Chain A
Amino acid sequence: MSASKPDTLASDGAKTPIPDTPLFDRAGSHRGYEMNKMAMSLVSAANREAFAADEEAYLDRYKLSPEQRAAVLARDWQEMVRLGGNIFYILKISALDPMPVTAIGAAQVGMEHEDFLVERLGKERKNG
């Protein structure tokens, strides 16, 4: 059994990149590993408390790059993804100061949340 077209998706991503679609490949995993590891640690209630009590001190436990650290502190979702953050891990950061996943999506696209809901997801406009 063989695929209809050559399948070029591999650990180094797609040979023909799909526009605006970052794949979590070897490079992404490598780039984002420490930041994702920090985010993963937030599945523990004790760690969530420690993070909430002193975010800077909590981040000191992990080897984040200065850019990653700044992106986490600023909750800059676009930047976190650019720096190798994978949504399933960095989403756990959003549990500390809850925001809907659609707002994180909008931030990655650089759109207002309401515009994102309407233009991308096809929801009805609620305000204005």
Chain B
Amino acid sequence: MAELIGGCGTSHVPSIGIALDRGLQDTPDWKPFFDGYIPAKQWIAEQKPDIAIVIFNDHGNAFFLDRVPTLALGVAEEYQIIDEGWGKRDIPSFKGAADFSWHLADAMVEGHFDPLICREIELDHGIQVPMELFFGRPEEWPVKIVPIFVNTVQYPIPTPQRMWELGQLLRKAIESWAGEERIVVFGTGGLTHQLQGARAGFMNREADKAWLAEIGPNPEKYRDWTREQFVETFGSEGAELIMWLVMRAAMDADVRTVMSHYYAPASMTGAGMVVLENEALATEEAA
């Protein structure tokens, strides 16, 4: 049986990618941010996952407003890097875990989630940045990916409760997968940011820190929030945090927060990361 080695939550701010492109990691503005990810890189290098399931949103790059899937699932063998308007970034394309993706497509539809199934689609910073933060800039990515796209741009966006249920289904799909792969799940987006309107630049450091502290031990609190509460607390674009709930619900009820990191602002965003392991896994390893 495949093994769920952990769940990671991380911001996916595009400026992080730009900072890497321009070699700004060691400048005063960025060093504290990137330094905080060093343990996360070590953790994932030791864990050696084979497959990364990444829940993220496209930011008006692969999807325009002409057709907006609430949920979409990539089933491709390979995903190219998309040109978001500044030219294509010079990072490797992603290999897809296509067999697992099709298994997940079956599980989703059988479980009454009905994603748009994407055979050929390019990926934006929403997935690029988390991969760069955890895996650095390898010549080739050391994992295959399963991208799950969530609409967080056009209202109505899905509810936090639905994201939670998707995570529960994802866990079942991992457990019913016949392969032996080591699997990691990434929930991405956030933390606080609002890019539009007179409240633009809204920052809520306290709420961000509480989120990072509580997403492991007390996720029901956020699962039960309304979408308004997400928008109000984390800003209009900070509502992306609902996607971390997919990752969290895929994990056991009891998890250990292995590490977390917070830095604000990264560009206009509260940037954060958390790595969770199932308690049962930790006990097993200690025994």
Contact = CB atoms under 8 A, between A and B. Distances in A.
Contacts, number: 152
B107 interface: no
B82 interface: yes
Nearest to A121: B265
B196 A95 contact: no
A101 interface: yes
Contacts of A110: 198
Interface stretch (A35-43, A54-62, A65-73): A35-43
Contact of A43 (B83, B224, B227, B231): B83
B228 A44 contact: no
Contacts of B264: 121-122
Contacts of B85: 42-43, 48, 91-92, 95
Contacts of A44: 83
B155 A108 contact: no
Contact of A108 (B60, B86, B198, B223): B198
Contacts of A37: 64-66
Report the interface size class on chain B.
Answer: 35 or more
Interface stretch (B40-48, B138-146, B200-208): B200-208
B11 interface: no
Given A101-B15, A105-B268, A21 B60 contact: no
Contact of A6 (B60, B226, B235): B226
A22 B86 CA distance: 26
Contact of B197 (A7, A42, A81): A81
Interface in A23-53: 23-26, 29, 33, 36-37, 40, 42-45, 48
Contacts of B202: 120
Contacts of B268: 101-102, 105, 121
A45 B83 contact: yes
Query: In this complex, which of B153, B196, B267 has the most chain A Cβ atoms within 10 angstroms of its Cβ?
Result: B196
A16 B228 contact: yes
Interface in A101-128: 101-102, 104-106, 108-110, 116, 120-123
Interface in B266-287: 267-268
B156 to A, nearest CB: 5
A90 B95 CA distance: 31
B87 interface: yes
A19 B159 contact: no
Given A101-B268, A121-B203, A109 B198 contact: yes
B203 A122 contact: yes
Contacts of B229: 5
B84 A92 contact: yes
Given A101-B268, A122-B265, A7 B228 contact: yes
B60 A88 contact: yes
A21 B235 CA distance: 8
Interface string B165-187: 10000000000000000000000
B125 to A, nearest CB: 11
Nearest to B165: A1
B154 interface: yes
A106 B236 CA distance: 16
A21 B203 contact: no
A3 B236 contact: no
A86 B60 contact: yes
A13 B195 contact: no
A120 B201 CA distance: 5
Contacts of A100: 267
5 contacts: A4-B224, A7-B228, A26-B155, A37-B65, A108-B200
Interface of A: 1-11, 13-14, 16, 18-26, 29, 33, 36-37, 40, 42-45, 48, 81, 86-89, 91-92, 95, 100-102, 104-106, 108-110, 116, 120-123
